[in-house]
Structure 1
Amino acid sequence: MKLLDTTLKNKVLQSMMTIIDKKRDDIIAENKKDLEAFNRDDQALYDRLVVNQAKVDGMIQAIKEVKDQDDPVGNTISERILDSGLKIVNKTDPFGTIMIIYESRPDVTIEAAVLAFKANNKILLKGGKEANNSNKILESCWHEALEENGLDKNWIRLMHMNREETQEFLRNPSEKLDLIVPRGGERLIEFVKTHAKCAVLISGRGNNFLYVSKQADWEKAKKVIINAKTDKISGCNALDKVLIDENIADFDNKVKDLHQTLENHKVKTVIDENLKNQLSDVEVATDENIWFEEFLAMKILLAKVSDLDEAISIINKYSGGHSSVIMTEDNDEAMAFMQQIDSAAVYQNASSRFTDGGQMGVGAELAISTDKLHHRGPLGLKQLVTNKYYVWGDGHIRQ
């Protein structure tokens, strides 16, 4: 794959910013077609689908932030000269062709493409059918920006395929793929992992947990819980489960207080059977599968635990490995929790809603990876490269 000059890549991104700004009303009009055709029963998906003036501003800002970042390609990771005289340099290198499969969010068509392109990768975008009109006009904007700067529009392509055609493409790709990033439900992720002929990087589900230690500041804990649950229910970094230490002072009244606070914010509460004495009129979760569920709704599960170790065990068993929070004023306890929890992001006394490329200082993100190879957490520009070893010799042979 041809390596593009940084200046040329940035010119394409500057063109794209200008084109989106100029066509913002057309983009919103196309998005309106998608919104009118969408079944609003799934409020989380609907929220992700919406493109308004603020969303267009956000798209332009995302491109600007990536444009202003250093080029991640060709940077030296390590360099050494061996005793034999061989010079070995390890440098960052593009993946090649990336395919991303995602639902609903048209802004992914901007963020995924700008990151892949700046990192010198071609990208195949497979958006959901519910965002078809929005994605098509955004693709046309990309193609205009590329061709305006003398580049082939195949650097950024929307895959105009239905579900069955996409599945067949994964089984028998018509072109070389180097990385696939599925952003969707577990069925999609499992299908891609089973059939992909290349590396797969999982952007996993949320199902995030928060543990309220006996050493928590209660008012601080309530504030964090409400923000993590209600700020954006469609976000993969939203809160789903709260574990409360039974040894916290005034346990019964604190549980009731939290339930009332959640009700005041129109959050439906479900409890485990160990909280029946405190919340006798609240629905009890009887199916273990609810512990694995990412709600994406104004719904939360409250449960009682005996100590830190039980909280850690429950979280590592059921969570999606995305974000986990401990509320405690004991820094040693927080560190024990954070070291033992198997999640991409771990927090002390802060909302899980910060697991986001922009909020974490990464900038625009391709996804939030819950994989451990090659990266975990927000996939920003610096994470969309692999590496290559450059070796210089002078007739060296291995003996």
Structure 2
Amino acid sequence: MKRLHTDIKNQVLTSMINILDHSRTEILAANAEDIANFEGKDQALYDRLLVNDKKIDEMIRAVRAVAGQEDPVGKTISDLTLENGLHIVNQTAPFGTIMIIYESRPDVTIEAAVLAFKANNRILLKGGKEAIHTNQALVDCWHKALAEHDLPADWIQLLTLNREDTQEFLRNPPQRLDLIVPRGGERLIAFVKEHARCAVLISGRGNNFAYIAEDADWEMALKVAVHSKIDKISACNALDKILINPALPNFEERVRELGKHFGQESVEILADESLRGYFASAQPLSEEAWHEEFLAKKIAIGVANELPAAVEKINDCSGGHSAIIFTKDTEKAQAFMEQVDCAAVYHNASTRFTDGGQMGVGAELAISTDKLHHRGPLGLEQLVTNKYYVFGEGQIRE
């Protein structure tokens, strides 16, 4: 695609802000149609699908935030002149065409597209069928914004493919694909990895852990752990697992208090056999459940006798997304944060902050649990690759 000047890109985004604001009626009507057609019982999926004025305001804020960010394209990474006279400049460059496959969330149609466009990439949006009308209304807004500045609509395209068509598209894409980002459950990710013929950047499962050490500030740990679970159960950064050191003072009382608070929030508890007697109602905790991302009002609670045991359990079972330690000991916290293999590690703070907007990145394409090409929130600066510019005067390799 043509390299666009920063001013042109920002003018498109300014138009998009105005178009979104003036298209609320059409967007909400389209979403109402999707909600009416929703047949599932998955509360998390429903929460992701629903669009209201607050969500439209959030979409507008995301576009405005990206418009205000520095253009990530053409930034110099290194600039060297070698002994042979070659002048070698390494600069950031667009990927080209990015495809994102996601389920339910219409806000991704805004955040993914604004990031890709500002980074001078084309984007193919493969949203879920449950959000087809909302996604189409939002892409129509994008096309209006592009048309206002005489840019073709193919900068931002919505794909409406069934599973079989998507599989064929990945195997034999009718156009060049440079990067695919699957944003969803493990089945979706496995499907894309099996069939894709280009680079895939994984936005994996959450299954986030908290470790409450023996010297934790209990009131802080209680407040943060409960809120991290119930604040938004449909989010990949919600808390799913809690490990408690049995050396915590008043251990039994604390565990019962934790269960009481979750009970008040109607959160189902799965507990280690050694802990089940402390709760008014708790289900057995299987080994499979330790590895599961719940996306539901469900929490698993177990014990970890020491820091190494907690780290081992988290590294074995989590999705590599986020993990917390509650402790007053900064050295212990540092050891935990260095040894836990997650994209974001926390000391005395909620996993719900693993989010582009909350981490100062602005809008996000996804939360990457890969280690290449980036890990954590995929913001504007992460949607570029690099290119070497080599300037010579007839040099040959001798």
TM-score range, shorter chain: over 0.9
Q: Which amino acid aligns with 1:219?
A: E
Of stretches 256-265 and 206-215 in structure 1, the one that deviates more from structure 2 is 256-265
* Counterparts of 1:329 and 1:265, CA distance in 2: 27
- State the match for 1:20 in structure 2: 20
- State the match for 2:234 in structure 1: 234
* Counterparts of 2:376 and 2:56, CA distance in 1: 25
Indicate conservation of the 8 Å contact 2:99/2:180, yes or no: yes
Aligned length: 398
- State the match for 1:160 in structure 2: 160
Q: Give aligned-pair identity as a percent.
A: 61
Q: Which amino acid aligns with 2:179?
A: L
Indicate conservation of the 8 Å contact 2:94/2:121, yes or no: yes
* Counterparts of 2:297 and 2:183, CA distance in 1: 22
- State the match for 1:244 in structure 2: 244
* Counterparts of 2:225 and 2:126, CA distance in 1: 34
Q: Which amino acid aligns with 1:385?
A: V
Deviation at 1:220, TM superposition (A): 0.4
- Unmatched tracts of structure 2, length 5 or more: none
* Counterparts of 1:43 and 1:310, CA distance in 2: 34
- State the match for 2:384 in structure 1: 385
Deviations 1:262-281 (A, max 9, x none): 11122111101232353485
Q: Which amino acid aligns with 1:136?
A: Q
* Counterparts of 2:266 and 2:280, CA distance in 1: 19
- State the match for 1:341 in structure 2: 340
Of stretches 276-285 and 355-364 in structure 1, the one that deviates more from structure 2 is 276-285
- State the match for 1:372 in structure 2: 371
- State the match for 2:305 in structure 1: 306
Question: What is the SS of the residue equivalent to 1:334?
Answer: helix
* Counterparts of 1:274 and 1:84, CA distance in 2: 70
* Counterparts of 1:281 and 1:234, CA distance in 2: 23
TM-score normalised by L of structure 1 = 0.98
Deviation at 1:152, TM superposition (A): 0.7
Deviations 1:72-99 (A, max 9, x none): 0000011111122111111000000000
1:284 aligns with 2:277: no
Q: CA RMSD in A?
A: 1.0
- State the match for 1:79 in structure 2: 79
Pairwise mapping of residues 353-364 of structure 1 onto structure 2 (< 5 A)? 353-364=352-363
Pairwise mapping of residues 77-226 of structure 1 onto structure 2 (< 5 A)? 77-226=77-226
- State the match for 2:46 in structure 1: 46
- State the match for 1:57 in structure 2: 57
Indicate conservation of the 8 Å contact 2:207/2:292, yes or no: yes
* Counterparts of 1:374 and 1:24, CA distance in 2: 36
* Counterparts of 1:298 and 1:194, CA distance in 2: 31
Question: What is the SS of the residue equivalent to 2:113?
Answer: helix
- Unmatched tracts of structure 1, length 5 or more: none
- State the match for 1:324 in structure 2: 323
Question: What is the SS of the residue equivalent to 1:41?
Answer: coil
Question: What is the SS of the residue equivalent to 1:177?
Answer: coil
Question: What is the SS of the residue equivalent to 2:28?
Answer: helix
Q: Which amino acid aligns with 2:220?
A: K
- State the match for 2:275 in structure 1: 275
Deviations 1:195-225 (A, max 9, x none): 1111000001100000000010000000110
Deviation at 1:39, TM superposition (A): 2.4
Deviations 1:281-314 (A, max 9, x none): 52211x3111111111111000011110000000
* Counterparts of 2:367 and 2:183, CA distance in 1: 9
* Counterparts of 1:173 and 1:98, CA distance in 2: 12
* Counterparts of 2:122 and 2:38, CA distance in 1: 30
Indicate conservation of the 8 Å contact 2:268/2:282, yes or no: no
* Counterparts of 2:255 and 2:276, CA distance in 1: 11
Deviations 1:45-67 (A, max 9, x none): 10001111111111111101001
* Counterparts of 2:137 and 2:366, CA distance in 1: 22
Question: What is the SS of the residue equivalent to 1:157?
Answer: strand
